[in-house]
């Protein structure tokens, strides 16, 4: 009989990766042991799971060798630097010494401080400079760059990126992630966040182990089960009920970016698909690799909530009823394909 894995358990996930890609994982580990590293540009729509897939990749082949490098997080650190008097001074000195471009240092600081998600992107030469500064602080690692390129005008810089950040011997490649809009929509719509520790889950797709029921309102809700948290009722974020509505333009731009990356010559590409048409799913994936939909029933006798699951069917962007894969099988596909494009398998 075929073995089933519980992919939310780190232990079983490890066994799953070993069974399905043991050879590739060993080759990648050897590759790192010899001092090699590479650069990945992650391209996927907002909320497509870029961070999750990179973390699972790292978990499987060496967490100390691989880093998810988010440009957004890097800029948030700069925001912190600017708020601290001493670090602000150092940052300004760094810009005065190293920045070359069409803005004055004053203008850059102003741009950083008055930035909101609605304002235009930061200048590319600034992003590159800050990335180089950040990367030089770390030991040489394999980087999964998340957030660059952001616009079509940044695409060509990608081709020289490794030279610009002094990783010139590294192989580099694109990882392009294809996720149906409907999946992103429901990830947002049913998201629940803990007001205390900010843990994010999903009442339909990724519940906690504790679900409770409000008899008066006839409403089920998640309770945070982070062991370091006091266990608060998790709440929807403002605006989440509108799903992808407010970010439609952004998703369209992300899609154009992926299409352009796909058409570039000379740089290897790895394609990941989050979904699989239900009609062919049986041939390619096992039931435990598919994202279920959770629903809840109130057991009046026992006075407790029973969590149940059923297959979750979403319509993909081509109109096919599809299943959405869990993160581990997508990460597995990434491990196999990366080993292949690096020519180590």
**By the criterion CB under 5 A, which residues form the site for Zn ion?**
194, 196-197, 199, 224, 226, 229
Is-contact 195 185, C-beta < 8 A? no
Closer Cβ to Zn ion, 28 or 194, answer by number: 194
d(C-alpha 311, C-alpha 235), whole Å: 25
Show Cβ contacts of residue 153 under 8 Å, excluding neighbours closer than 6 positions.
124
Nearest distance in Å: CB 210, Zn ion = 11
Compute the radius of gyration of the chain from its Cα atoms. 22
Nearest distance in Å: CB 204, Zn ion = 19
Nearest distance in Å: CB 233, Zn ion = 10
Nearest distance in Å: CB 161, Zn ion = 37
Nearest distance in Å: CB 207, Zn ion = 14
Closer Cβ to Zn ion, 199 or 307, answer by number: 199
d(C-alpha 123, C-alpha 181), whole Å: 29
d(C-alpha 177, C-alpha 150), whole Å: 15
Nearest distance in Å: CB 12, Zn ion = 25
Per-residue b or e along 7-42, where b marks 16 or more CB atoms closer than 10 Å to that residue's CB: beeeebbeebbeebbeebbebbeebbeeebbbbbbb
Cis peptide before 190 (omega within 30 of 0): no
Closer Cβ to Zn ion, 156 or 200, answer by number: 200
Distances (CA, A) of 182 to 248, 315, 316, 331: 12, 7, 7, 20
Closer Cβ to Zn ion, 57 or 221, answer by number: 221
Closer Cβ to Zn ion, 208 or 274, answer by number: 208
d(C-alpha 22, C-alpha 14), whole Å: 10
Closer Cβ to Zn ion, 149 or 207, answer by number: 207
């Amino acid at each position: 009989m075929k073995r089933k894995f519980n992919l939310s358990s780190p232990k079983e996930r490890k066994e799953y990766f070993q069974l399905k890609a043991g050879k590739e994982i060993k080759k990648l580990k050897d590759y790192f042991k010899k001092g090699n590293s590479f650069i990945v540009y992650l391209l996927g729509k907002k909320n497509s799971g870029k961070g999750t897939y990179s973390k699972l990749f790292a978990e499987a082949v060496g967490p100390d060798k691989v880093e998810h490098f988010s440009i957004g997080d890097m800029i948030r650190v700069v925001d912190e630097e600017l708020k601290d008097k001493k670090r602000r001074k150092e940052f300004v000195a760094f810009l005065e010494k190293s920045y070359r471009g069409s803005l004055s240092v004053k203008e850059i600081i102003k741009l950083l401080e008055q930035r909101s998600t609605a304002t235009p992107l930061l200048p590319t030469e600034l992003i590159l400079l800050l990335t180089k500064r950040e990367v030089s602080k770390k030991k040489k690692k394999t980087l999964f760059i998340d957030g660059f390129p952001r616009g079509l005008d940044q695409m060509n810089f990608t081709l020289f990126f490794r030279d610009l950040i002094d990783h010139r011997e590294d192989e580099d490649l694109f990882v392009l992630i294809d996720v149906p809009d409907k999946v992103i929509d429901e990830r947002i719509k049913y998201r629940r966040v803990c007001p205390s520790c900010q843990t994010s889950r999903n009442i339909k797709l990724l519940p906690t182990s504790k679900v409770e029921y409000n008899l008066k309102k006839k409403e089920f809700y998640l309770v945070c089960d982070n062991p370091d948290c006091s266990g608060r009722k998790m709440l929807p974020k403002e605006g989440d009920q509108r799903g992808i509505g407010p970010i439609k333009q952004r998703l369209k731009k992300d899609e154009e970016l992926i299409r352009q990356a796909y058409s570039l010559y000379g740089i290897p590409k790895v394609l990941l698909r989050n979904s699989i048409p239900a009609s062919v799913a049986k041939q390619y994936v096992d039931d435990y690799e598919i994202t279920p939909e959770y629903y809840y029933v109130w057991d009046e006798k026992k006075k407790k909530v029973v969590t149940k699951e059923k297959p979750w069917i979403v319509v993909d962007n081509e109109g096919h009823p599809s299943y959405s894969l869990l993160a581990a099988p997508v990460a597995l596909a990434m491990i196999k394909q990366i080993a292949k494009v690096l020519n180590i398998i």
